[in-house]
A and B are shown apart, each in its own frame.
Chain A
Amino acid sequence: MNHARPTHRPTGRRAFTLLEALVASVILGASVLAVISAMSTAQKLAMEGQKRVLAAMAANDLLIELSTLEYSVLRTHPPINNAVGRMESLDGTGYPASFWTIGRTMTATETTITDAASGSVIRGTRVVVNVVDEDKTLCSIEAFFAEPRNGGGA
């Protein structure tokens, strides 16, 4: 006749060891740090996106203003260098505070381009508008303004 062996049940409760508690704390801490880091990165990217939209607006603003100039004026236009937070229109109107994170530069250089199809050489002015923040270029637009046949009144 078989008798079931009585199972041995510990009567005392086994607590966590210090090592287990430390491992748990490290895992919890790392998880919290990862979440905070992800949120911080997401916020930075969102801010970056906003700045880039503003930068595109600012670059387009300047380019359309430059397109209204006589060619002779555009050709010899001095470089524009608006520091970050100090942008102003071509006619000197300051941009409002919503644009405080960006600045803007412009250079106009006389150049020629060659039409690949016909081989003809076109004289004109290459305009480069860069919109920057404190440490990088956010947006860069280039445009080529062909010299009018009469030389643009130069």
Chain B
Amino acid sequence: MAGRRSGLTLLELLLALSITILTGAAAAAVTLAVSRSMTSMGEGRAVINRSNLVQARLRAVTDTAWCALVHDGNRGLVFWANDDNANGRVNVSELRVLWTSAEDALVSLERVRFPSEWTEQQTLDADLVLTGADDYFGAMLVQRGLGHTFTQIIGDRLTVGSVLTNAASVDDATRLRVAATLIDDGGSPVELLVCLGLPSHRKPD
């Protein structure tokens, strides 16, 4: 004789369904919150790592540079990297131009690199001496036009705001404070301040 099996009552079924739905909704909410939090944390981590990289790349330029020659809010900063030609003056190959294009949100460093197959005399002839009256940015653009420059990206989705110095004239400055804005992966701006020093400061003659 088969035992009589009792099925679920309507009330039990509704109760079970309600519990399942509530549990499912809670689990979905927790998963969504965790996912958002993880995304946000990931973006935060990425932007801090990019900041660190930007700082390191800028420092690689300034820690050894002798002098910041000029700052132009629309174009960027020009550094005198060294005096390889040992003449106390700025040769075009000793320039480092930090382009800060707000339109492209890109910061890059450009320097002259003459063709390696050139003779020493050819290089000396092309390595023009510049004076304070010259447009350093323009000189770099001329070299770029000739195909004699090399560009390194300092940071993308990066805009440079103000550049403050510890001296009235930028070429007397030994310290620079660069305020910049990085855009994170979520499109939010993150403000930065990078303090740079020119411990080997020396002005051209």
Query: A47-B41, A67-B197, A96-B192 provided; 19 other pairs, C-beta below 8 A?
Result: A10-B3, A12-B3, A46-B41, A53-B48, A57-B52, A64-B196, A65-B175, A68-B166, A68-B199, A68-B201, A89-B193, A90-B166, A90-B195, A91-B164, A93-B193, A93-B195, A96-B191, A98-B192, A99-B193
B2 at interface, CB cutoff 8 A: yes
Establish whether residues A61 and B194, one from each chain, have CB atoms under 8 Å apart when the complex forms: yes
Most buried by B among A13, A49, A96: A96
Residues of A within 8 A of B45 (CB): 46, 49-50
Residues of B within 8 A of A49 (CB): 45
Interface majority SS on B: helix, strand, loop or mixed?
mixed
Return the chain B residue nearest A95 by Cβ. B193
Chain B interface residue bracket vs A: 20 to 34
Residues of A within 8 A of B44 (CB): 50
| Cβ < 8 Å to B, chain A residues 16-38 | none
Q: Mark A50-63, 1 if CB is under 8 A from B, else 0.
A: 10011011001110
* CA–CA, A67 and B55, complex, Å: 17
Closest 7 CB pairs of A and B: A11-B3, A96-B191, A61-B195, A64-B197, A68-B174, A68-B197, A67-B199
**Distance in Å: Cβ of B201 to nearest Cβ of chain A:** 7
* CA–CA, A53 and B46, complex, Å: 11
| Cβ < 8 Å to B, chain A residues 61-81 | 61-62, 64-65, 67-68
* CA–CA, A23 and B63, complex, Å: 65
B25 at interface, CB cutoff 8 A: no
A141 at interface, CB cutoff 8 A: no
User: Which residues of B does A touch, CB under 8 Å?
Assistant: 1-3, 5, 34, 37, 41, 44-45, 48-49, 51-52, 55, 59, 63, 164, 166, 174-175, 177, 179, 190-199, 201
A122 at interface, CB cutoff 8 A: no
> Could you give 22 example pairs across A and B, Cβ below 8 Å?
A10-B3, A11-B3, A43-B37, A46-B41, A46-B45, A47-B41, A49-B45, A50-B45, A53-B48, A53-B49, A57-B51, A60-B55, A61-B193, A64-B59, A64-B195, A65-B195, A67-B199, A68-B174, A89-B193, A93-B179, A96-B193, A98-B192
User: Which residues of A does B touch, CB under 8 Å?
Assistant: 10-13, 39, 43, 46-47, 49-50, 53-54, 56-57, 60-62, 64-65, 67-68, 89-91, 93-99
Establish whether residues B175 and A91, one from each chain, have CB atoms under 8 Å apart when the complex forms: yes
Establish whether residues A68 and B175, one from each chain, have CB atoms under 8 Å apart when the complex forms: yes
* CA–CA, A11 and B3, complex, Å: 5
Establish whether residues A93 and B196, one from each chain, have CB atoms under 8 Å apart when the complex forms: no
* CA–CA, A82 and B59, complex, Å: 23
Establish whether residues A89 and B177, one from each chain, have CB atoms under 8 Å apart when the complex forms: yes
Return the chain A residue nearest B199 by Cβ. A67
Establish whether residues B3 and A39, one from each chain, have CB atoms under 8 Å apart when the complex forms: no
* CA–CA, A13 and B6, complex, Å: 9
Residues of B within 8 A of A60 (CB): 55, 59
